[in-house]
Structure 1
Amino acid sequence: MNEVYISLGSNMGDKEETLRHAVQLLQRHEAVEVIKLSSIYETDPVGFTDQDVFLNMVVLVNTTLTAQEILEVCQEIEQELKRIRIIRWGPRTMDLDILLYNHDNIETETLIVPHARMHERAFVLVPLVEIAPELKHPLTNEALLTMLAQVGKEGVIQWKTIAGVSEFVHSES
């Protein structure tokens, strides 16, 4: 079984409902089990800053899928939730990024794991550390808690705590 940490973000439409729908779609996949969810965080945009704030979270899934297959599942979910790529780091209904796949280092034309910029981004590290404070970066072996201390938490505010996977996927915003 493979442990995969996935970051989810939305800043268009009903952001919370879009996050919930994405988690539901992950959970419905026959080869994916959503194990843990972080709280939802309201975060300032990074890169292209002239856009609405995001809601972000991180999920831990167990899967029998390869890294490439889980990437394809994530991209299918983005498409189902009407993701359109116009501006790099621009507004989006849904963004799913594979942060970690086991403790593997993967570099292909379509996938880099661990995520190339996760160690620079508080909106990724805060929810990731919330659900897995013991994790270390697979390439540097540095604790993610240490990386978060270096980056800081500016622009990341806890927006809503999540009681559990079942409660989140079966509740309404």
Structure 2
Amino acid sequence: MSETPGVLDAQGHLLDRIRLTGLSATGYHGVFEHERREGQTFVADVVVHLDTRRAAAQDDLRHTLDYGDVASKVVAVLEGEPVDLVETLAEIIAATVLANGSVQAVDVTVHKPQAPITVPFEDVTVSIRRDRSKLPAAEPYSPVPVVTLAPDEAAPDEPAPDEPAPDETAPAAAVPPTAALAEAAPAEPGRLLVPAAAPMLAPVRAAEGQGDVEDAASADEVVVGEVVTDVLDREPDGPVDAVLALGANLGNAQETLRAAVSALAATPGVVLVDVSPLARTAPVGGPQQPDFLNAVVLVRTTLSPRGLLRATQAIEQQHGRERHEHWGPRTLDVDIVVYGQVLATTDDLELPHPRAHERAFVLQPWAQADPHAVLPGLGGGPVAALAATAPDRAGVRWLALDWLTAPVSAAQVDADTSRSAPPSRP
């Protein structure tokens, strides 16, 4: 960890520092599904700024920082509840350390050495400094309490075989609700949490003649739970800019793409902003097949991300989508590349598109339609710059500007113009 500048106290004196480096754990943080499923190593370095003179003078741990406790909490954050961003991890760690009243400032660096980056690299780090004036943007780590019952709190002893069970009858209204219905805390990966056990209640004998009535009342009760809305199902407060990538290489591909653009324009909640030039590109991966025609459409939509997905899938079906194998030929493909600044990964939709940053057949037309476009998320950046370095950039053969209104020479893609696809990237 590189040397960090010191922190001054109120009198202008340099505070002391306690440094912990290389705290590591397996965490399940990240925006991609495989990161949440498989986990990876995260490492944290922490520098704590405080005045240690009182603790040293009295030789008393109570007046300084218990770095063993800090180390345990930092590791608990790393292997705890998953978050999307390394930045969020750093904020939680900083908040946890600053919860100690003797700490005046803290420097946190979080390393993600196994980040899903497609080029050789050594490490990815996020470093922050937080203090009593620039507070963390997260709540401190709070462990889930684990309660162990004392012997006298355990289940009551059963009566001896010859001993009648004690009559502990109580009115039904006097029985407190069981704590087992309390809201459960989220489980952390790799850790078994034992919730506090509720005290066991003795059987309650209902008053004679009341059993059927109370059962009927219970059956009529309705428990209303909180409705949780997936961010991908949530309609935006206002119009959102989105980018769609269109591709086809079966039949009259140019006419299919024209019809798809018209269908998008006619979709309720979707407004066309711009349409890119038409690119003819060599297939990437998959079997030998005809060249593709590709275009990018910029839209403004009031649909939710998943609502837009359903609309594009309906257009694919209307135009005879055929896709029998991965990276194989198809009649029409419409992908959502970007939806505003949404970063999300689910089984049916990943935003931004996970391979957009390395696909020249998306990047080059997009840069033509919007020279200042920026791809958000991991691996993103200025679209024009990404297009210039995309691995498959040599496969983009030409761009046609007026393809929506005029026929394009050789736009009819057939097997006579096909060629073998370049080898797939690892």
Could you tell me the TM-score, scaled by structure 2's length?
A: 0.38
Matched, 1:143 2:379: no
What displacement does 1:172 show?
6.3
CA distance in 2, matches of 1:51, 1:138: 32
CA distance in 2, matches of 1:132, 1:107: 25
Q: How does 1:28-67 map to 2 (within 5 A)?
A: 28-67=266-305
The structure with more radius of gyration? 2
Secondary structure of the equivalent of 1:6?
strand
What displacement does 1:142 show?
2.1
Matched, 1:91 2:329: yes
Of stretches 94-103 and 153-162 in structure 1, the one that deviates more from structure 2 is: 153-162
Q: Which has the higher contact order (CA 8 A, sep 6+)?
A: 1
Query: Which string of whole-angstrom CA distances, capped at 9 and with x for unpartnered residues, describes residues 54-99 of structure 1?
Result: 0000000111001100011111111111112211011111000100
**More helix as a share of residues:** 1
| Residues 120 and 49 of structure 1: CA distance in aligned 2, closer, same or farther (over 3 Å) | farther
Match of 2:249 in 1: 11
Q: Does the CA-based 8 Å contact 2:323-2:331 persist in structure 1?
A: no
CA distance in 2, matches of 1:149, 1:172: 28
CA distance in 2, matches of 1:93, 1:62: 25
Letter in 1 for 2:312: C
| Residues 35 and 49 of structure 1: CA distance in aligned 2, closer, same or farther (over 3 Å) | same
Number of residues paired by the alignment? Answer: 167
Query: Which string of whole-angstrom CA distances, capped at 9 and with x for unpartnered residues, describes residues 102-125 of structure 1?
Result: 122121221001100011111011
Secondary structure of the equivalent of 1:154?
helix
Matched, 1:110 2:348: yes
Structure 2: any 5+ residue segments left out of the alignment? 1-238, 408-426
**More strand as a share of residues:** 1
Letter in 2 for 1:129: A
Letter in 1 for 2:261: V
Q: Does the CA-based 8 Å contact 1:38-1:162 persist in structure 2?
A: no
Matched, 1:26 2:260: no
Could you tell me the TM-score, scaled by structure 1's length?
A: 0.90
What displacement does 1:130 show?
1.0
CA distance in 2, matches of 1:114, 1:69: 16
Match of 2:307 in 1: 69
Letter in 1 for 2:336: I
Q: Does the CA-based 8 Å contact 1:7-1:58 persist in structure 2?
A: yes
Q: Does the CA-based 8 Å contact 1:39-1:158 persist in structure 2?
A: no
Matched, 1:124 2:342: no
Matched, 1:158 2:408: no
Identical amino acids, percent of aligned pairs: 37
CA distance in 2, matches of 1:57, 1:91: 16
